[in-house]
Amino acid sequence: MYQVSIKQLLALSLFSALLAGAIAACIVDRGEVARIESAVIADPSVATDEQNNIEVYRAVSPGVVNITSKSFTESWFGVHPQEGTGSGSIIDDQGHILTNFHVVRGASQLDVQIENEKYPARLIGTDPDNDLAVIKVNASRNRLTVVKLGSSEGLQVGQKVLAIGNPFGLQRTLTTGIISGLERPLRDPSSRRTIEGAIQTDASINPGNSGGPLLNTRGELIGINTAIYSPSGGSVGIGFAVPVDTAKKIIPDLIAKGYVAHPWLGISTLPLNRRIAGAFDLAVDEGIIISQVYGGSGAAAAGLRGAQARETIYGGIVLERLGDVIVSIDGQRVKNTDDLQRALKGKEPGQTVQVEVLRNSNRLTLPVRLSERPQDPR
């Protein structure tokens, strides 16, 4: 018969106690893990963020429309229809919809889908400078969900934003992100216009999102999604929106007049570079050359002078006489056409600006009364 000594019994008891403690510790650790996991799942910040996405989408998405534009081009082979799509936001109970100019440009027919119903739309007003347009549908008020216009003043990098639109025709798609940058210059290479102060976001924006709203967490429109930077053509997390404060300033004119009255000096220009500056012995190599002064304009009345040029047999232009070189407006330095646009921003037709020019190595400051720039074709 096997017998256990007192010493062996004590050792066995001690081992059993240690083993029980280890098992209890493991149970406590597993319980702690479960408690932590439960706390993460029930984290109010996680639940609140998700709920915010849901609430904003439910409230705003019925006011985001799908816009289809149709145009026709002629060729040797006949007339060819072309179709494009974009997004827009209903901005009042009269059926006015805010979108991008490039979404409706050249359209001979516009159709708008509000939830599951399609309506014909007509163009009300356009502003190519800010790539904005207003169109209108005749729909009953109970079919119109108005997207509230917020403010783009005081926005912060890192602030959460939401975008709703129709990328690739997928209606009322929601994406989220943050504000990645502010005051970005957004240049359109085809028109050579620059939109100042654009909002940069990493919220996914793709073709079809154009004209749709960029929203804050209160569901207020703070920007109009306009462009993306993408080598591939799809979203890479660099999108741009026109600030809503820009839109709020011009919407009344777009609805009332169909256009926005932009200030105009009454000139066309050429860039100044070191080669031209050296050829004419100029003391500066930055500024813009007045190539033409239009009759009846403020520039003509002020005595600004344009260049004299001739075209070569190869299609080039040779300057025979240099025009006035604009170096500043109202004390604001002008190095290129973007600077000229910034110097005139906020001015109104009828105002007078002080234009500093270089003429035959002499600096002159001439008062020029701004006129209304001729409208671009729609």
Q: Name the nearest CA neighbour of 180 among 149, 203, 163.
A: 203
CB 150 within 8 A of CB 247: no
Give the integer Cα–Cα distance in Å for 74 and 76: 7
Q: Looking at 69, 102, 204, 371, which residue is catalytic?
A: 102
Q: Looking at 69, 152, 204, 210, which residue is catalytic?
A: 210
Give the C-alpha distances (Å, rounded to integers) separating 13 from 2, 6, 17, 18, 298: 18, 11, 6, 9, 106
Catalytic site includes residue 210: yes
Query: Could you tell me what percentage of the chain is helix, strand and coil, using 3-state DSSP and rounding each to the nearest 5?
Result: 25, 40, 35
Give the integer Cα–Cα distance in Å for 57 and 293: 52
Catalytic site includes residue 80: no
Give the C-alpha distances (Å, rounded to integers) separating 211 from 59, 224, 315, 356: 18, 6, 39, 39
Q: Looking at 131, 202, 324, 339, which residue is catalytic?
A: 131
Residue 226 CB contacts under 8 Å (≥ 6 apart), including other chains: 100, 131, 186, 195, 198, 210, 211, 240, 241, 242
Give the integer Cα–Cα distance in Å for 22 and 103: 69
Catalytic site includes residue 262: no
Q: 3-class SS at 23?
A: helix
Beta bridge partners, 325, equal 289, 358
Neighbouring CB atoms inside 10 A of 5's CB total: 8
Q: What is the CA radius of gyration of the chain?
A: 32
Give the integer Cα–Cα distance in Å for 117 and 39: 44
The pair phi, psi for residue 251, each rounded to 5°, is: -55, -45
Give the integer Cα–Cα distance in Å for 150 and 247: 11
Beta bridge partners, 174, equal 164
| Helical residues (DSSP H) of 42-132, grouped into ranges | 44-60, 101-104
Long-range CB contacts (< 8 A, 24+ apart) of 10-15? none
Catalytic annotation, residues: 102, 131, 210
